[in-house]
């Protein structure tokens, strides 16, 4: 056995021991309970795709800490290179589940994001923690926020290019919403391109875009590399917004409902572990910074995961609405209104020609029953309502009650 393998096995054992100590239940006992009953997972080994981003952490830690074994499953995280690749592998069954963009799952279900297939959202993996980065060149001309960008674009006429990570995904919707709230039509007033998250910084470095919206650690990495500034965080756009989800196909949840429940419960517990302490967050940052996962320096991850922000121009602040993975279960519930919001924006930006039956679609995709079972198994509190109310950056309130009216209410649209 190589020294490297020995050290990695030793580290895994230490992490698993720490996790069991933190959660306080013997994994072997929990596994025995599930294995003995009719609710045993039908599929014991599952492959979960992820993109190298900080918010893949609960999927990775469920595996690294051995929490998955408590629920009778073995999670193998599979590093993927692009969201389009994640979509294709989910649809064709190469992946069982994925850490995936909320809007991607809805786009595939509706046929607006490639091949149409019935999809499922099992839980929300995180709230907050993405950002909009503008190039240092733009910042040097005064474009340090939305108002500054709009002023510069009006004064210096040219084609401005912005990048998002997937056409129906979260980053595209945050970028479009932010631009439009600042009077810039992303469809007619700018050029928008799709770039995989780990390639954002390299593309900005060579001048391929003026700005981008992506998950961490790539916004902070742009600051560390001296090529970009943070113009807005996504929690500025929508406090406690839904971000990545645990996604799969509807077919998988029907065929393997116990497996879906077990995996959801394991990841819920991993999210609980991450949010439980400062030391856990630092341990998570050290783990996911490794080559097998995000492949960056720990300091690119651990600052913003603790809410310590800087904008790249000397401003620093402590953000209480940093990326959260559990927050007493408030993060993870698959609210129907969250899914419906993405549909309203897909309609707004011309990705759908007609209004869908918003509520019916959300009920098809968001697996509330499986989530509740997983929440019971992992002792996670469940909210009373399947809808929630939020006020976004422009003062517009979203509560899911009249999605058609909401989708049609924006002055700037496709």
* Token duo for residue 234: 């996504």
DSSP category for residue 127: B
Question: Quick one: 100 and 187 in the same domain?
Answer: no
Give the count of beta carbons closer than 10 Å to the beta carbon of residue 369.
Answer: 11
Q: What is the pLDDT along the chain (414 residues), one digit of tens a residue?
A: 444 333 444 444 545 544 444 444 444 434 434 444 578 999 999 999 999 999 999 999 999 999 999 999 999 999 999 999 999 999 999 999 999 999 999 999 999 999 999 999 999 999 999 999 999 999 999 999 999 999 999 999 999 999 999 999 999 999 999 999 999 999 999 999 999 999 999 999 999 999 999 999 999 999 999 999 999 999 999 999 999 999 999 999 999 999 999 999 999 999 999 999 999 999 999 999 999 999 999 999 999 999 999 999 999 999 999 999 999 999 999 999 999 999 999 999 999 999 999 999 999 999 999 999 999 999 999 999 999 999 999 999 999 999 999 999 999 999
* Structure-token match 């000397």, residue found: 314
Check residue 15 and give its pLDDT.
Answer: 53
The rounded distance, in Å, linking the Cα atoms of 348 and 236 is: 21
Q: 139 lies in a domain?
A: yes
Per the CB < 8 A criterion, the answer to whether 91 and 249 are in contact is: yes
Is residue 82 in some structural domain? yes
Radius of gyration of the chain (CA): 21
Q: Are 398 and 392 in contact (CB under 8 A)?
A: yes
- Residue 212 CA to residue 55 CA, distance in Å, equals 18
Q: What is the pLDDT of residue 38?
A: 77
Pair 349, 243: CB distance under 8 Å = no
Nearest to 22 by CA among 353, 387, 280, 310: 280
Report the C-alpha gap between 414 and 411 in whole angstroms: 10
Orientation of helix 336-348 relative to helix 358-365, angle to 10°: 130
Distances in whole angstroms, Cα of residue 241 to Cα of each of 73, 84, 96, 280, 308: 30, 23, 25, 23, 19
- Residue 250 forms part of a structural domain: yes
Identify whether residues 45 and 156 lie together within a single domain.
Answer: no
Query: Domains in the chain: how many in total?
Result: 2
Phi and psi dihedrals of 274, rounded to 5? -60, -50
Is the residue at 272 inside a domain? yes
Residues 116 and 255 in one domain: yes
Number of other residues whose CB lies within 10 A of the CB of residue 166: 25
| Structural domain for 93, as ranges | 3-127+243-306+323-384
- Give kind and range of the element (H or E) at residue 86: helix 83-91
pLDDT at 16: 52
pTM of the model: 0.92
- What residues pair up with 229 in beta bridges, in sequence order? 134
pLDDT of residue 33: 43
Q: Are residues 123 and 134 in the same domain?
A: no
DSSP 310-358: E-SSS-EEE-TT--BS-GGGTTT---HHHHHHHHHHHHHTTS-SS---H
Instruction: Confirm whether 111 is domain-assigned.
Output: yes
Residue located via tokens 């968001």: 366
Give the pLDDT confidence score for residue 28 in this predicted structure: 40
Residue 31: what pLDDT?
42
- Does one domain contain both 153 and 300? no
Q: Rounded to 5, what percent of the chain is helix, strand, coil?
A: 45, 15, 35
CB 17 within 8 A of CB 259: no
Last residue of a domain, one of 214, 237, 260: 237
CA-CA-CA-CA dihedral for 239, 210, 169, 244, to nearest 10: -50
Return the closest-CA partner of residue 126 out of 410, 332, 408: 332
The answer to whether residue 295 is domain-embedded is yes
CATH number at residue 168: 3.40.190.10
């Amino acid at each position: 056995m190589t020294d490297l393998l020995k050290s990695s096995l030793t580290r895994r054992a230490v992490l698993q021991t720490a996790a069991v100590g933190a959660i306080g239940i013997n994994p072997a006992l929990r596994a025995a309970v599930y294995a003995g009953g009719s609710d045993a997972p039908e599929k014991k080994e599952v492959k979960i795709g992820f993109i190298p981003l900080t918010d893949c952490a609960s999927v990775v830690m469920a595996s690294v800490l051995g929490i998955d074994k408590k629920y009778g499953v073995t999670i193998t995280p599979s590093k993927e290179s692009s969201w389009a690749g994640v979509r294709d592998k989910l649809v064709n069954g190469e992946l069982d589940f994925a850490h995936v963009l909320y809007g991607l799952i809805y786009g595939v279900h509706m046929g607006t994001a490639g091949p149409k297939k019935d999809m499922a959202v099992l839980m929300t993996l995180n709230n907050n923690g993405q950002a909009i980065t503008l190039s240092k060149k733009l910042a040097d001309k005064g474009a340090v926020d939305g108002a500054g960008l709009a002023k510069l674009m009006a004064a210096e006429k040219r084609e401005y290019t912005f990048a998002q990570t997937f056409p129906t995904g979260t980053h595209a919707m945050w970028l479009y919403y932010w631009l439009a709230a600042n009077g810039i039509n992303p469809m007619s007033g700018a050029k928008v391109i799709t770039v995989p998250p780990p390639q954002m910084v390299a593309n900005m470095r060579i001048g391929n875009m003026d700005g981008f919206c992506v998950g961490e650690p790539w916004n902070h990495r742009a600051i560390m590399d001296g090529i970009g500034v943070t113009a807005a965080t996504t929690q500025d756009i929508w406090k406690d917004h839904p971000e990545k989800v645990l996604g799969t196909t509807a077919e998988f949840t029907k065929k393997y409902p116990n497996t879906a429940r077990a995996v959801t419960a394991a990841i819920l517990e991993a999210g609980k572990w991450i949010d439980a302490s400062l030391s856990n967050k630092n341990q998570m940052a050290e783990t996911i910074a490794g080559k097998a996962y995000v492949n960056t320096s720990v300091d690119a991850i651990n600052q913003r995961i603790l809410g310590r922000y800087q904008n790249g121009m000397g401003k620093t602040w402590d953000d209480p609405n940093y990326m959260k993975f559990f927050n007493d279960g408030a993060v993870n519930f698959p609210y129907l209104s969250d899914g419906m919001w993405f549909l309203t924006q897909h309609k707004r930006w011309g990705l759908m020609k007609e209004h869908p039956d918003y509520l019916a679609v959300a009920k098809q995709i968001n697996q509330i029953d499986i989530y509740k079972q997983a929440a019971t198994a992992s002792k996670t509190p469940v909210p009373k309502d399947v809808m929630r109310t939020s006020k976004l950056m422009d003062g517009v309130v979203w509560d899911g009650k009249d999605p058609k009216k909401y989708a049609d209410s924006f002055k700037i649209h496709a």
